[in-house]
Structure 1
């Protein structure tokens, strides 16, 4: 079995994985290291094949967008898990109060069982292998539903997984929306979803029917706040790669920027200068990734048309401002934007970047806090007080200070959203714990004083305990 494409095969594979897990409910450290090593080999030995497959899926995808965004990030996560796994697997010692002595307490991290993973199209390998890495490190089996928008990547991944793993341990599921709905309805022991907030609600609703715990990695409009005292060119240098990687088709890409209003023109020019150094043109540039399909391109074009009709200034950063046939677009700045525009209501997920001028930073904070909580927030400032003020007065899934997006691939930092941008965390030890059940264990030996508290109540020992501990 290479890829699962029917609901019947989905149900059958799930039962086979349940049975496989039941036969080995706590894989050894050596088995888990072997699984992680095989995952790493799949990536390293097939880099060119992944680059080619993803480029076919996108129409053209920069080879380096794939190397950075999918391969390097995934390999780093696997290496970190291999390095830390022995420590993660150790039970955590817990304090036991004097009233319950003599006793010992610990938390044992037990694999949950069969994990379902729903991966999106924008980074199909990283967002499949990231959760898969920590799911296997935690000792689970896994089924991965890939996006229908990445068929070439899906076929390659299914073939490579089948060569290294039994489908009873790791299986790739393909198909359209009806298969995604069926996948969400399976009684997994944990369901992990990366995608839009709207679809995330449907996934959570389906999982609730079986009381399946979920991790939702969603999106939203991730804001940036630029301090009036930072050099604008420096600020742009810290932000621009996070926005241009994968042509902005990144859930944590900066979505809009708050800039001191007297520096908006300077910021726009700095972005233009930096962008043209990176991408002198877009149409004939192999470093420039396409918008993945016609519907996504049309969606972004509609955002531009709507914004222009409502008074926004549209500033493409190269002269070749877009080609529908190639679906390549330059980074495009929008100024004079307002909340009536769709571009300020929807997650952009593409190479558009609105800039909003502010007089006082409190305006930016009030605006951000009036919106659904974002997946990421970015601060450009070397002023510690400015940084701390924003950190303590806003909410976001994660934050970068003088950087953008790269907190996601730092393996010891938990990654996840808050509110409308998601729930739960993964990566590193947090990922291991997400896919484990932390089982509390209270252990007594031959001596136990618990019987002293048995009825009949009202004895002096009861009165003494209440006096000492109810205060």
Structure 2
């Protein structure tokens, strides 16, 4: 007797959505107490699995600073839930709105917050715990259910969440999915009641196009190329400390980090000297356990090629740590400043997403 064929990716996702929607329709408006219980359960999961979650994320990166994971992923998830619970009763309360008495004489107008149903979340690799559990906190606070698709670069974390989260939440409430090939495309096609996506603009366009076929509302948080602007009257030491801290957090792999910096021409040399001292105090060598690896080989090669392109175009490349400029085995690139980069080079035309800071 032949075994039945394994379900396709689409069939698996459709079945999960149908299960959650059926559960939503059976109980569409959870009480305040039920929502708080879900939030506390999510918080308890993070606390009970904190070390294993840090280890899984580090395994996905090759190496991820434990302190950065605690600061940027664990703490926001745990502390954010306390914040939500403290405000949730007020958020659930009906809100009065004004009425045009000339058109609706004697009428009253209220906004009554109601759950949407099933929310999809497409999570990027750079802060995979933060950008899955923080949205989940608000999804649960609003009384919804959720399906979460992890990144192809978060395989260790995805496996851990898929294995351990069912002990805390039933599949009718929450399910995680690994990116094993083609999952993201099928996930975007599902008839969610709302879809959240964080990632590149190119992928965001594809997600929004797929969701549009279902008239599914989409929230997009896309990449950026935001500068820091240092004014002539601002303390340069303070500016350098702050810029270099955020630029090197997660080795620059943050969509809201400082992509490049504008400085008064007379202060560029001083900024370089200050940056060198600050970086060497924080990361004595490129092998420091507090310094994070680049996520994968493609990204590592892209950054090195971008530096080579800028250098060949006449840019001055300033390495801020003594020793090797990079370590191919650990995919670490030394913090680097780039002066006089050509306007048409990759560093100036696309999001850098690495520990490289052009100065303008």
Partner Cα separation in structure 1 for residue 260 and residue 244 of structure 2: 12
Does the 8 Å contact 2:9/2:186 carry over to 1? no
| Alignment length (residue pairs) | 352
State the structure with bigger RCO (CA 8 A, min sep 6), 1 or 2: 1
Return closer, same or farther for 1:349/1:177 CA change in 2, 3 Å cut-off.
farther
- Give yes or no for the alignment of 1:141 onto 2:151: no
Aligned to 2:321: 318
User: Among residues 63, 85, 88, which one is paired with 1:85 in the alignment?
Assistant: 88
Aligned to 2:292: 289
**Runs of at least 5 residues in structure 2 that lack an aligned partner in the other structure:** 1-6
Runs of 4+ displaced beyond 2 Å: 4-7, 96-103
Does the 8 Å contact 1:53/1:156 carry over to 2? yes
- Give yes or no for the alignment of 1:329 onto 2:333: yes
Partner Cα separation in structure 1 for residue 250 and residue 222 of structure 2: 18
Q: How big is the shift at 1:8?
A: 1.8
Partner Cα separation in structure 1 for residue 8 and residue 354 of structure 2: 30
Aligned to 2:310: 307
Aligned to 2:25: 22
* TM-score, L = length of structure 2: 0.95
Partner Cα separation in structure 1 for residue 223 and residue 134 of structure 2: 17
Q: What SS does structure 2 have at the residue aligned with 1:98? A: coil
Does the 8 Å contact 2:225/2:350 carry over to 1? yes
Aligned to 2:248: 244
Q: How big is the shift at 1:71?
A: 0.3
Q: What SS does structure 2 have at the residue aligned with 1:42? A: helix
Partner Cα separation in structure 2 for residue 44 and residue 25 of structure 1: 29
Q: How big is the shift at 1:93?
A: 0.7
User: Among residues 337, 341, 345, which one is paired with 1:341 in the alignment?
Assistant: 345
Aligned to 1:269: 273
Does the 8 Å contact 1:5/1:175 carry over to 2? no
Partner Cα separation in structure 1 for residue 32 and residue 100 of structure 2: 32
Does the 8 Å contact 1:5/1:174 carry over to 2? no
Residues 378-397 of structure 1: CA deviation (Å, up to 9, x unaligned): xxxxxxxxxxxxxxxxxxxx
* TM-score, L = length of structure 1: 0.73
Partner Cα separation in structure 1 for residue 322 and residue 8 of structure 2: 44
Q: How big is the shift at 1:218?
A: 0.4
- Give yes or no for the alignment of 1:6 onto 2:9: yes
- Give yes or no for the alignment of 1:235 onto 2:234: no
User: Among residues 185, 188, 195, which one is paired with 2:192 in the alignment?
Assistant: 188
What does 1:15-414 correspond to in 2, within 5 Å? 15-99=18-102, 100-283=104-287, 285-320=288-323, 321-356=325-360
Does the 8 Å contact 1:117/1:128 carry over to 2? yes
Residues 53-108 of structure 1: CA deviation (Å, up to 9, x unaligned): 11111111111011011101111221111111111001111122333332321101
Return closer, same or farther for 1:61/1:297 CA change in 2, 3 Å cut-off.
same
**Runs of at least 5 residues in structure 1 that lack an aligned partner in the other structure:** 357-471
Partner Cα separation in structure 2 for residue 328 and residue 127 of structure 1: 24
